[in-house]
Structure 1
C-alpha cells in the first residue's frame, strides 16, 4: 500500500497539534480580541528608611553679630573645663582675685564673668569705660584691633564694662550702649554696670581702667588706659599666652 497519503495527513496533524507561540502582553488573537493577563503583585512589608541629614542653606550675605561668637579660641591642652571659680576672698589690687560679677549686656542678656567663656580662657582683660569719656572710644578701638583680635586665638577673653552714659553719674541705657559699641567698632561683650556694683575697680577720674587676670581670676596687672599702657599690655600678653606674638 502506498505511504504518501498517510504521511501528508500525519504532517497536517502534527502542525495543527503544536501549541500557539507565546504572545507578548497586549497582543491580539487572530480574531482581533485582546489577550487578557492577570498580573499578580506581591506585597512586601514597608522598610523604614532613616532620615538623611542635609546641609542647611546659609545666606552668605546675612549679617551675623560678632559678639555672641567672640570667644577665646583655645587649641591643644587648655584649662580644665571642670574647674570652678575661686570662692574668695576677693580684691581689687594686683595679687587679689577678681570678684565674679553678673551684669546685663547691651542686648539685655545676663553676662556672667565666671561663665563658660571664663572656663575656656587662659586670661581675661576687663576694660572699664564710660560714655562721657572722650578718649575711651578711641582706646576701645585700639583694644579691639591690637588686643582682642590678635590675642583671642591664643586664649584671651576681653570683657567691657560701661559704667556711665554721656553724663557722669548718669547710668548708660541699653540703647546708648548699643550705639557706643557700634561707633567704637568692638565685638567683645560689653556689660552695663547700672548700679555701680564695680565702682571699687574704677577711678572715675582716670577712665578707662584696664584689669588683666589670669585663668584663675587673679589680678596680674591693672592700669589706666593709654597708648603706653597698651604697649605694656601687649608685652605682658606675649609672655603670658602661648603661641607666637
Structure 2
C-alpha cells in the first residue's frame, strides 16, 4: 500500500530524513522506533502529507501523495480533542464534517463509544478525563471515519504502565477485528514489538534495519519469554554505536 522512495526532508540546514526507502503492505502493521531526533515523526508526517518532502516520493496504492488523503486517519501525541466539546460531540464532529446526517452520526458514535468502553463518559469534556480516556476518545474519533490507513504518533507515551498496556490491547483488538494499514511511531521497545508486524529502526535521519516480528498477535504475548528476547534484539539495534 505504501511505498517511500528516496525521501529527503530538511528543516533549513538540519536534515531530518535522508534517502529513506520503505514499503508497507496493505492491511499490515508497522512500528517505527529509534532515539529522539532520528526523524520518526517526520517520516510519519510525510506519510500523512502533513509535511512535504524536499526530495523523493510517498506513494499510496500506487499514487504519489500530494495532499492529505480522505482515508488517512492521524492520532497525534496531544490527542487533538476539542476542549469545548463533550466526548460525544468530539467523535460526532468528525462525522458531521464528512457529511453524515445527525441520526447516522449519533448511531455510529454510540457504537464506537460502547466498543471502546467510554460510553459512560459521553457527556464529559476532555478536561475531565484521564489520559487513557482521552486516548480512547481520539481513537474513536479517528476510527469513526473508517480510514484504510491509520497513523499514530506515540499513542501511549504519556500514560502509566497499566494504562499503556490497556491502550495497546485496544489498538491490537481493533486491528484484529478489522485489519487496516497501521503505522505507529514509538520510543517504547515493548510497544513496537507488540503492535508491529514490521519493526523499522531509525537513527540519524535514516532507516538502519527492518525486522519482521514472528510474535505479532499471539495470545498472552506479554507472558512469553520469547517476546522479551525479541525486544532485546530490537534494543541492540537501537543502541548499537549510539
Tell me the TM-score normalized by structure 1: 0.27
Higher strand share goes to which structure?
Answer: 2
Please tell me whether Structure 1 or Structure 2 has the larger radius of gyration of its CA atoms: 1
Higher helix share goes to which structure?
Answer: 2
Tell me the TM-score normalized by structure 2: 0.27
